Amino acid sequence: MPEAGPRTSHLVRVRPVKEDAMRTVNIGLCGLGTVGGGTVRIINRHHDDFLRHAGVDLRIARVCSRHDGMAKELGLYNIWTSDYRDIVNDPDIDIVVELIGGTETAKSVVIDSLNAGKNVVTANKALMASCGHDIFEAADAHDVEVAFEASVGGGIPIIEPLKHSLVSNEITSVLGIVNGTTNYMLTLMDEEGMSYEAALKKAQENGFAEANPTADVDGYDAAAKIAILASIAFNSRVTIDDVPTSGIRSIAPVDLEIAHQMGYVIKLLAAAHRTEGGIEAYVQPAMLPLTHQLAHVKGVMNAIYVTGDAVGDTMFYGPGAGSGPAASAVVGDIIEVARRVSSGTKALVGCTCTDHLPMVKAEDTVARFYIRMRVQDKPGSLAATADAFGSCNVSIATMVQRTSDVDMAEIAYTTHASRVKDVSDAIGVIKTLKQVEDVCTVIRVED
C-alpha cells in the first residue's frame, strides 16, 4: 500500500475551509515505535484531506524518543528530542500523543501534559486501566481532554461509540475478544489441531507474540482492556486489579475438539456484566456457541459484543493491533481533539465514571463450566470425581471420557449453572482424590 508523501487526487475539488477553522494544531508525539511511525505516516499522507474534510490543520511540531533512529527515518530529526519535557514545556503544543507504553515514563508524560493544560491522546491500555482516576482528575482540573480509542481493540471504534452513539442505553454486558495473539493461537489450535506450544511458536515467528508472551497468554492485556470498556459501559471505575484473570496456557487441542462436538468454540473471553449486585468482570477461556457472532472472529482479529437495554445486541469487529489500525484510532482521536482546539471549544465529554458500582466477587457469581481431568483408567475413578461435584452442590450436565495413555483416562465434565465457589471447592476436592492425576483445564461455558 503506497503511503509516502501527501496525496492529492485530480478527482477532488476542494471546498474552501472556513477561515475560523484554519488555526494550525500543534502535535507533540512521544514514542516513535510502530504506532508512532504509523501516526506520522497517516498525518503526512492525509494532511490536506484532514484540512478539507475535518477543517483541521495538523502539524507534527515535536517528536520524542529514546534514540534518534526512527526520527531520522521519518525525516523528523530536526524536531526530535530525547526529553519528553521539551514537549510538555513547549507552549505551542496543543496535543500530546503518548505512545511510549507502560505505566512509568508514560504516566509522567500524560499527567504532566494535562497539568500543563495540554490535551492528551494515548494508546496506553495499562495506564488507562490502572491510573484512569488520576488522569481524568488532572484533565478535569485543567479543562482539557484525554482520548484513548486506540487503547482497546486497535482500530475498532468502540470507546467513542460507547461514549456517544450508545450513551442512551443501560449497557448490560460487554464481551470481548480483545487479544489478537491468543485468538490467533486458539484459531491455529482449533483449525489445525496444533498444540499450545506449536501455536505460540508460530505466533512468535509471525510477530504476533512477544518473546516473553506472558501479558498476552496469561490474559493481562485483555484484563486491562475489559477494565477500560467496563468503566465506560457501566459509568463506574473498574481497574485491572478488579478483573480476575486466567489465560490459555492449559488449553489443549482435545478441549477444542470436545468443544466442537458440543457445538462450541473456545475463545479467551474478556467479559463484564452488570448484575443486581454490581459489576462482574473477568478474563477466562470460554466456550461460545458456534452460532454466536464472536465464534466467527478468527486469527488476530478482535471484536467487542455490547448488549444494551434499548439497542439489544451489537458487535464491533476489526484488527486489534498493528501499526495501521492503532494509528488509525490515534489519528481519529487527534482529529477529534483538533476540531475542538481549532474552534476554541472546551471538551464536552470528560470522565464518564459518574457512578460507583461495587464489584461482584467472582466466587459469588454463577456460571457453567467445562472441566477436564486426567484420572486412572480403573473402576471407581468416574464415580469418585462425579461424587466430588455432587458433594459440593455442583450438578453435572455432560461427561465425555477418553483413554489417553496406558492406564490413564481423560474425563471432561460440563456443569449446570453453579456458584463459582462451589465449582472451585469441587475442583479442590477432586485434586485430592487418589484416582486423579491432575485437573488440566477449567473453561467457562457461555450460552
Q: Contact positions toward a copy of itself, by CB under 8 A? A: 1, 7, 11-15, 38, 42, 46, 49-50, 52-54, 149, 155-157, 160-161, 164-170, 235, 278, 293, 296, 308-319, 322, 324-325, 327-332, 334-336, 339-340, 343, 345-346, 348-349, 352, 354-358
CB atoms within 10 A of CB 302: 27
Q: b vs e for 414-447, b when ≥16 Cβ sit within 10 Å of the residue's Cβ?
A: bbeebbbbbbbbbbebbeebebbbebbbbbbbbe
CB nearer a copy of itself, residue 348 or residue 406: 348
- Give Cβ neighbours of residue 419 (< 8 Å, ≥ 6 apart): 363, 364, 365, 366, 393
CB nearer a copy of itself, residue 70 or residue 341: 341
Minimum separation from the CB atom of position 84 to a copy of itself (A): 24
Task: Rank residues 290 and 399 by Cβ distance to a copy of itself and give the closer one.
Answer: 290
**Measured from the CB atom, is 219 or 322 closer to a copy of itself?**
322
Whole-number minimum distance, CB 276 to a copy of itself, in Å? 9
In whole angstroms, what is the distance from residue 415 CA to residue 226 CA? 26
Out of 118, 125, 225, 267, pick the active-site residue. Answer: 225
Answer whether 218's CB lies under 8 Å from 179's CB: no
Nearest approach in angstroms of CB 412 to a copy of itself is 27
Q: What angle do CA 237, 243, 248 make, to 5 degrees?
A: 145
Nearest approach, Cβ of residue 342 and a copy of itself (Å)? 9
> Closest CB to a copy of itself among 353 and 366?
353
Is there a catalytic annotation at residue 225?
Answer: yes
Q: How far is the CB of 175 from a copy of itself (least distance, A)?
A: 13
| Beta carbon nearer to a copy of itself, 181 or 415 | 181
Residue numbers annotated as active site: 225
